[in-house]
Amino acid sequence: MHKTIIRRSLEDGDCQLPETLHPVLRQIYAARAIRSEKELHPAALLSGLDEALELMVDVLHSQSRILIVGDFDADGATSCALAMRMLPQFGYQHVDYLVPNRFKFGYGLTPEIVEIALQREPDLIITVDNGISSLQGVAAANANGIAVLVTDHHLPGDTLPDAAAILNPNKRGDPFPSKNLAGVGVMFYLLMALRAHLREQNWFAEAQRKEPNLADALDLVALGTVADVVPLDHNNRILVEQGLRRIRAGHCCAGIHALLALGKRNPAQLVASDLGFAVGPRLNAAGRLDDMSLGIECLLATTPERANELAQKLDELNLERRRIEQEMQTDAERDLDALELTDETLPLGLCLFRENWHPGVVGILASRIKDRFHRPVLVFAPDGDDVIKGSGRSIPGLHIRDALDAIATRHPDLISHFGGHAMAAGLSIAREHFDAFRQAFEEELARHLSEESLQNVVHSDGELSANDLNLGFAELLRTAGPWGQAFPEPVFDGVFDIDQRRIVGEHHLKLVLRDPDTGQLIDGIAFNQTDADWADNVRSLRVAFRLDVNEYRDKRSPQLMIEYLEPV
């Protein structure tokens, strides 16, 4: 439906990395603007940190009650579990948590959540991965004599909540260099700063308490950062890499270990994508379909038996989520096919809504449709009698949260609530406003999207020689990351002859390809692609691929994970 081109990256300036690096790896790092090793940015650069530390120290000395209010995705779950696991090690004796049910209370610290929180009699509410837009909820907490510490990473609105302290690197004017911390990263930074502050006050020595080892919590930080798909700038890469090293060495919580086992991932050979594709979806399934407390309890489990029991429930929820997702995707494809869209009639963006769709799965469906059409997509599902809730995914060239902000400014009565990031956002609108919103969305996209941005570009790191199409280099690439959002896993391109091909699992193309110059054979697989459109008389393919390791019956071999292919 959309035009796809392969564009090769060019080396970006001088690379100051060691000469001992593999030359292809040096080129890959240079294209991603990596110059040399760097350390984590210091926590002291976060504005609001002094107020947050003063608040936390006062609560510690008075042993007041803390209530963590989390979010219903993997970032929120890991943030909550991080606080629950580590704060008692500092000496806090009264720490509890509460996660809103997304289907009853929506997102963030709302006045309704504060009413429920009052039953726990907290003195301090700490929001994790939410709170920056909770103006009414913070006001309700203040009215009831409860202080609020907001830890969040989402983009703020024009007005900040009247919290006792706010930690968010995306506050206007905040000097913290990395704006890409996940919610779990913000919470981790608070804990690092708190430990340093208490150390200076001789708290641990005087209380005869061992200092918390925050390295023990890096498994949670890595999982939440990868699962939230935040850009892996150098700061996040350090956090994720250190977490991966801990897990590979066998130092991870029982819950992550159990979820990895269900995903058939070997912890000793873990890479970031394993967290993103095997652990994150199972954890997210609880928040999408049920209650994220199940996921948090799995991460907090102290025995393998308890962790396995909860992980199994999460796995069952994930299977149910996949079933619902497939049904919704079939519905969406049927609706889109009925429109008989062509390159000329395809709108700049797609807005879809069905009465029978599940509100917890609309974001995944939006992502699937975005990948198919290379257009910004918003998918809506019912949220009560009069309201529908949508989740959107964007393409390069459109900051979707800012687009929603612009629509809300031009049409003040159209959007009830919205929030998000550059590439993903959520919103609520009145059911009767769906058609008007769809028109306003299309008009806003016309202000931002160019013809070039509507092309699907596969960025390639160039051609890979036959000498590097081997297991050794595939292993090197796996450990050279962590790869992820804004720091993509290397993609190469080249022309290969087809030696064998067959369809597996009904929707995937399994290939044996031959290097035309050397005759070397290598396996390849293209997921969700078949040869139905080009099977006859095609002998060669141009492919863009990732070089990975295939494990089958204890045998490891190199394999091309094909991102794009076209007959030659």
**Does one domain contain both 134 and 260?**
yes
Alpha carbon distance 477, 488 (integer Å): 12
* Angle at CA of residue 369, ends 544 and 398, nearest 5°: 85
Within a domain: residue 323?
Answer: no
pLDDT at 412: 95
**Does one domain contain both 378 and 476?**
no
Closest to 452 measured CA to CA, from 79, 61, 69, 2: 2
pLDDT at 15: 53
Backbone region of residue 264 per phi and psi (left: phi > 0; alpha: psi in -120 to 50; beta: other values) = left
Asked if residues 102 and 72 have their Cβ atoms less than 8 Å apart, the reply is yes
Asked if residues 5 and 16 have their Cβ atoms less than 8 Å apart, the reply is no
Cβ neighbours around 521 below 10 Å, total:
14
**Does one domain contain both 297 and 175?**
yes
pLDDT at 291: 87
Q: Is the dihedral of CA 310, 315, 320, 324 positive or negative?
A: positive
Q: Is the dihedral of CA 203, 205, 207, 211 positive or negative?
A: positive
Within a domain: residue 38?
Answer: no
pLDDT at 528: 83
| CATH code (residue 143) | 3.90.1640.30
Within a domain: residue 30?
Answer: no
**Does one domain contain both 178 and 240?**
yes
Within a domain: residue 328?
Answer: no
pLDDT at 290: 87
**Does one domain contain both 210 and 302?**
yes
**Does one domain contain both 371 and 302?**
no
Among residues 454, 479, 502, the one where a domain terminates is 454
Q: pLDDT for 151-166, tens place per residue?
A: 999 989 889 999 999 9
Among residues 405, 425, 454, the one where a domain terminates is 454
**Does one domain contain both 433 and 483?**
no
How many independent structural domains does the chain possess? 3
pLDDT at 35: 59
Domain around 508: 459-567
Alpha carbon distance 252, 261 (integer Å): 13
**Does one domain contain both 261 and 149?**
yes
Among residues 400, 419, 454, the one where a domain terminates is 454
Within a domain: residue 412?
Answer: yes
**Does one domain contain both 476 and 450?**
no
Within a domain: residue 397?
Answer: yes
**Does one domain contain both 514 and 558?**
yes
pLDDT at 529: 87
pLDDT at 297: 98
pLDDT-flagged residues of the chain (< 50): 1, 12-13
Strand partners for 548: 559
| CATH code (residue 524) | 2.40.50.460
Amino acid at site 42:
P
**Does one domain contain both 268 and 395?**
no
**Does one domain contain both 177 and 293?**
yes
Within a domain: residue 116?
Answer: yes
Within a domain: residue 411?
Answer: yes
DSSP H/E element including 315: helix 304-338
Q: 446, exposed or middle or buried, with CB in 10 Å at 0-12, 13-18, 19+?
A: exposed
Distance between terminal CA atoms of the chain? 19
| CATH code (residue 358) | 3.10.310.30
**Is residue 141 classed as helix, strand or coil in its secondary structure?**
helix
